[in-house]
Structure 1
Amino acid sequence: MSTIASTAHNLHLTKPRAVLGATVMALVANLILWLIGLASGGSFEMTDQGKVASVAPGGVITLTVVPLLVGLSLAMLISLKWEPIIRIAQVVGAVFALGTIALTIAADFDAASTVTLALMHVVVAASVVVALEAVRRSPSN
Structure 2
Amino acid sequence: MSTTATATTATATAGIGDRIPALNRPTAVLGAVIAAVAANIVVWLIGAAAGGSFEVPNGTEMQSVAPGGVIILSAVPLLIGLTAAALLSYRWVGVLRLAAITGSVLTVATIAMTVAAEFDTASTIALSVMHLVLVPALVIATEGLRRNLIAK
Identical counterparts, % of pairs? 47
SS at match of 1:138: helix
Write the deviation string for residues 68-123 of structure 1: whole angstroms up to 9, x where unpaired.
Answer: 11100000100110111111111110011100000000000000000000000000
Structure 1 gaps, min length 5:
none
CA contact (8 A) 2:47 2:123 kept: yes
Larger Rg computed on CA atoms: 2
Q: Is 1:54 matched up with 2:64?
A: yes
Q: Between Structure 1 and Structure 2, how many residues are aligned?
A: 137
Q: Is 1:110 matched up with 2:127?
A: no
Q: Is 1:119 matched up with 2:129?
A: yes
Structure 2 gaps, min length 5:
1-9
Write the deviation string for residues 39-75 of structure 1: whole angstroms up to 9, x where unpaired.
Answer: 0000000012332110000000000110111100000
TM-score by length of 2: 0.82
Q: Structure 1 residue 12: deviation in Å?
A: 6.7
Question: In 2, distance between residues paired with 1:110 and 1:22?
Answer: 29
Question: In 1, distance between residues paired with 2:81 and 2:22?
Answer: 22
Match of 1:69 among 63, 72, 79: 79
Q: Structure 1 residue 130: deviation in Å?
A: 1.3
Q: Is 1:88 matched up with 2:98?
A: yes
Which shows bigger deviation, 123-132 or 106-115?
123-132
CA contact (8 A) 1:15 1:134 kept: no
RMSD: 2.3
Q: Structure 1 residue 139: deviation in Å?
A: 3.8
**Aligned residue number for residue 43 of structure 1:** 53
